[in-house]
Chain A
C-alpha cells in the first residue's frame, strides 16, 4: 500500500525518479529493525521498534555492552542514528559528530569537529543543546550524507562514509540572535531545517534545501503576508473557522509581526500519502503579552505543509495570544486509528507545552480530540472541538497588574522537547511529562526620561501531585489512548521526564530520567521491570537496533538543557533560567554533568565477547 502511494506521489508531482527512489530507500531503511535512520525512527515519528528479542520477560537481564563518551559536558538531547552498521553520534556545542563501526566500535571511524563562532554560546537561551542528525541515503552520484546543525546557525552536509564536508551554509544569523539547535529532517531530496531565537524577536521560518547542493528550495514564515507564509489556495478550506487569509498581518499590531517569533526548533513528521510534513511553530515575541495585542497568528500552530513547495494545507493555532511561553514545537506522532464513529482515519497526535494533547486528522486538520495531559492543567478549562478554541480561566492569566499564582503548567510546559513514542499494536502513546507549575509576578519599574522596565519574576515548583516541600515529584510517565482520551496507567517521577520515550513490540517502554536512570516499564501496566544508573542525567530519548542478531538499546546521558541549566551554569537564584533553577534545585544532589552514550543488550552480549576485538596485534 505504501509503495503504491509513493509512486502515485512521484507521478503526480512529476519529480525525477531518482528523487522518489532516494525517498523510497530511506523508508525501506527505516522499516528495518537494524536501523534507526531518523530521530523518530520512521516518518511516523513514533519511536516504535518491532524488535522483540528484549521483552517484558527478559528485560531485567539488560547489561551494558559498550559505551562511548563525547567529551562534552553539556546537555545531550535527541538520540544517535544507526544506518547500515554505523552509529552516528552528535554532541551539544561545539557540535561534534562521531561515526562508529558497530562491528568494532574500538576505533572512531570518523569525527567532525567544526570551528564555530564562540559568540553563539552567548546567544543560546537555555544551555547549548543539539537535538540530532539526519541521514540521506545517496543516489549513486552523490554519496550518502549526514546532516547536522551548528549552534552558530550553519547547516552542514557530511559524507556519511568519510565525514568530509560536502557543503555548508548559513541558515540562521547569530548576529540577529538566531541559533540552531534543531535536528535537520530529510524528506525525498530535501533537507528541512527550522530556526530558534523567538525570545529575541526572530521571525520564525522553515527552509527546505537541496540535499545535494544546499540550494534553497523554499522558505515559509510563521508570521506576515500570505505569500511569505506560503498558504495554499485552499488553506484551511476544511476548517475555515481556524482562520484563512490575511491573518499573519491582521492579528498583529502594526509591523509587530516582523519580530513576532514563531520559530520552530522541535520535531517533524512526514506522510508520503498526503505529501505533507507536520511541525509546530513556537511562541510569539515579545514575551510580554500586553505588548502584542491580537491572536498573533501563526505562532503556536500545528502546520501541514506540502514538502515539495512548502505550501500550507492547514494550520491550527492551539494557543491564540500566548501568555505563558507555551511554545508549540513539540513532537508530532502519526498513526492510523479508528475514531469513535468507527471511521479509519490518518491521525496526528501532539502533546503540547500548554498541557493539552491534540489529535488532528492529518489530511485536513480536523480536530479529533484535545485532552489534558494531566487533570491539574488549569489555565484552560477545556478545548471546544467545534471551534478549536481553548476556554481560558482568567484566574491563571499572566497579564500586567495580576499576580498569577499556581499556574499549571509552568512556562516549561507539561511536555517539552521530549520525543515520545506510539505503539500501533496497542494504540497507546507513551508520554514523558513535566509536572511543574509556576507563579508569574509581573512588575513595572519607572525610571528617568519616561523609561520603564516591565518584567516578571517566574517561580517554578512541583505540580499539585508532587512534593512541594522538597521540590521533588516534578515529572510523570503516562500511557494514553487518543481515541478514548483515557490514560491506561501513569507513574510519578522525581524529576521531569524531559527526553521522551521508546516503545517496542517486546511489550516495553524505555525512557531516561534527569536523575540519571534508564528505566524499562511494562507497556500494559507501567510496572517497573528494569533500571540502570547512568553516569549523568538524561534529557534525550532511548533508541534500539539489532546488529548481527543481537538487539541493543542505546541512550545518551548528559544532564543539562533547560531543566539542568542551574546545574550546568552553577546558578543559585531560584528565578534564574526563567525559574528552572528553583524548580530543579535538588537535581545536583543526584547527578552531575557528563556526556556520552551507553549501549545495553541481554547479558551484555556484544562485539567485545570476542576478546581479540580491539586488541593490539604486533606483526
Chain B
C-alpha cells in the first residue's frame, strides 16, 4: 500500500507545485500563519477576554509585523499561571509582559520599561521625593498589591504591618493560603479617588488606564528610588519582555526582529494607555 503511493508522489508534487506557485500569495492573505498568544481573560488592564487589554493590542501589532495573525489562547485563570499551565504545556507559544530575564523561559529584548508610581488625589497636591517624607509616614491606608516592590518597601520603612489589614480588605479578607489573590488595580485607584486610601503604590502599567479615566483628578508620580540606605536597594523599574519556551530560539529571533519594527506602534499603545515612558535601561 505505501509503495504505489511513493512512486506516484513525485508526479503529484509536480502538479501541486505548479498550482502552489500561483496560489501562495493569495493563500497568505487569506490565512496567514498564526501566532498563538497565551492570554488571561481576567488580567485587566494587561489582558482581558474581549481583547481590550493593552498587551492584547501589542501582541496584535507584533504579530502583524511578523506577517502572522495573533490567536489568543484564553485562560480563565490569572496570568501568573500562564507559563506553568499553558506555555509549558504547548497550548500556546508566546507569553506577554514578563520581567526580562525570567529564568523559566526565553525572553525577548525589552519592548518597554516601566516603573512603580504613587497615585494620590490631585487636590492633595502631594509630590513625594523621599521614602522618609513625613507625609508618607502619616498616611493611614495605602493600597498596593501582594508580594510587590511596594510591599517590600513598606516593610522596609515599617509601614507594612499597620497597613496589612487595609490591604486585606481590598481582597475582602480572603485567605491567600492556597489561592492566588490579586488586588484589583481598578479598585486600588478607586479607593484613592474616593478618599478611602491616602495613596496607591503600583506598577504604572497596571493602574495608568484607571488613573487616566478617573473623573476625580488624580496625580500619578514615579516613586522615589529606595533611599533608605539599608540592605539591598529595592528595585522599582522593570524591563518587560515577551517570552517563549526554552529551546524555541527561532520564534524568539522572529519576535526580536518584529519588536524593532513595531517599536513606534508599541509606543503609541503605551502612550494611549497613559503609561509614563521610561527609556530602556541598557
Binds B, one of A5-13, A453-461, A473-481, A607-615: A453-461
B99 within 8 A of A: yes
B149 touches A450 (CB 8 A): yes
A453 touches B180 (CB 8 A): yes
Among candidates B104, B162, B174, B177, residue contacting A287 with C-beta atoms closer than 8 Å: B177
Binds B, one of A254-262, A293-301, A312-320: A254-262
List A residues at the B interface (Cβ < 8 Å): 119, 122-123, 125, 174-177, 197, 199-202, 254-256, 258-259, 286-287, 445-458, 575, 578-579
Q: Give the CA-CA distance A453 to B177 in the complex, in Å.
A: 11
Q: Give the CA-CA distance A201 to B83 in the complex, in Å.
A: 30
Q: Give the CA-CA distance A454 to B179 in the complex, in Å.
A: 9
A448 touches B161 (CB 8 A): no
Q: Give the CA-CA distance A421 to B149 in the complex, in Å.
A: 51
Among candidates B99, B162, B173, B176, residue contacting A448 with C-beta atoms closer than 8 Å: B99
A445 touches B161 (CB 8 A): no
Binds A, one of B21-29, B163-171, B209-217, B246-254: B163-171
Among candidates A202, A448, A458, residue contacting B240 with C-beta atoms closer than 8 Å: A448
Cβ–Cβ < 8 Å partners of A199 in chain B? 175, 177
B237-279 contacts to A (CB < 8 Å): 238, 240
Question: Can you list 27 A-B contacts with CB-CB less than 8 angstroms, sorted by A residue number?
Answer: A123-B172, A125-B175, A174-B173, A175-B169, A200-B165, A201-B165, A254-B155, A255-B160, A258-B161, A287-B177, A445-B84, A446-B98, A446-B104, A448-B97, A449-B114, A449-B148, A449-B203, A450-B99, A450-B149, A450-B235, A451-B148, A451-B149, A455-B177, A456-B178, A575-B178, A578-B177, A578-B178
The chain A residue with its CB closest to the CB of B169 is A175
Given contacts A122-B172, A199-B175, contact A256 B161 (CB under 8 A): yes
A446 touches B99 (CB 8 A): yes
Q: How far is the CB of B231 from chain A (nearest CB, A)?
A: 12
Among candidates B165, B169, B177, residue contacting A456 with C-beta atoms closer than 8 Å: B177
A450 touches B161 (CB 8 A): no
- Most chain B beta carbons < 10 A, residue from A175, A177, A454, A579: A177
Interface size class of B (residues with CB under 8 A): 35 or more
Q: How far is the CB of A46 from chain B (nearest CB, A)?
A: 34
Cβ–Cβ < 8 Å partners of B79 in chain A? 447
B80 within 8 A of A: yes
A452 touches B147 (CB 8 A): yes
Cβ–Cβ < 8 Å partners of A287 in chain B? 175-177
B45 within 8 A of A: no
The chain B residue with its CB closest to the CB of A455 is B178
Q: How far is the CB of A139 from chain B (nearest CB, A)?
A: 39
B149 touches A446 (CB 8 A): no
Q: Give the CA-CA distance A123 to B80 in the complex, in Å.
A: 25
The chain B residue with its CB closest to the CB of A198 is B175
B53 within 8 A of A: no
The chain B residue with its CB closest to the CB of A440 is B178
Cβ–Cβ < 8 Å partners of B114 in chain A? 449
- Most chain A beta carbons < 10 A, residue from B81, B83, B175, B203: B175
B165 touches A176 (CB 8 A): yes
B158 within 8 A of A: yes
Cβ–Cβ < 8 Å partners of A449 in chain B? 99, 114, 116, 148-149, 203, 206, 238
Given contacts A200-B165, A256-B161, contact A453 B147 (CB under 8 A): yes
The chain B residue with its CB closest to the CB of A450 is B149
Q: Give the CA-CA distance A256 to B155 in the complex, in Å.
A: 9
Cβ–Cβ < 8 Å partners of B34 in chain A? none
B102 within 8 A of A: yes
4 residue pairs, one from A and one from B, having the closest CB atoms: A258-B161, A177-B173, A449-B203, A176-B165
Known contacts A177-B169, A256-B161, A445-B80, then 18 further A-B pairs from the complex at CB < 8 Å, ordered by chain A residue = A119-B172, A122-B172, A122-B173, A123-B173, A177-B168, A199-B175, A255-B158, A287-B177, A447-B99, A448-B99, A448-B240, A449-B99, A449-B114, A449-B149, A450-B99, A455-B177, A455-B180, A578-B177
Q: How far is the CB of A123 from chain B (nearest CB, A)?
A: 4
Q: Give the CA-CA distance A339 to B81 in the complex, in Å.
A: 57
Given contacts A176-B165, A447-B80, A450-B238, contact A455 B179 (CB under 8 A): yes
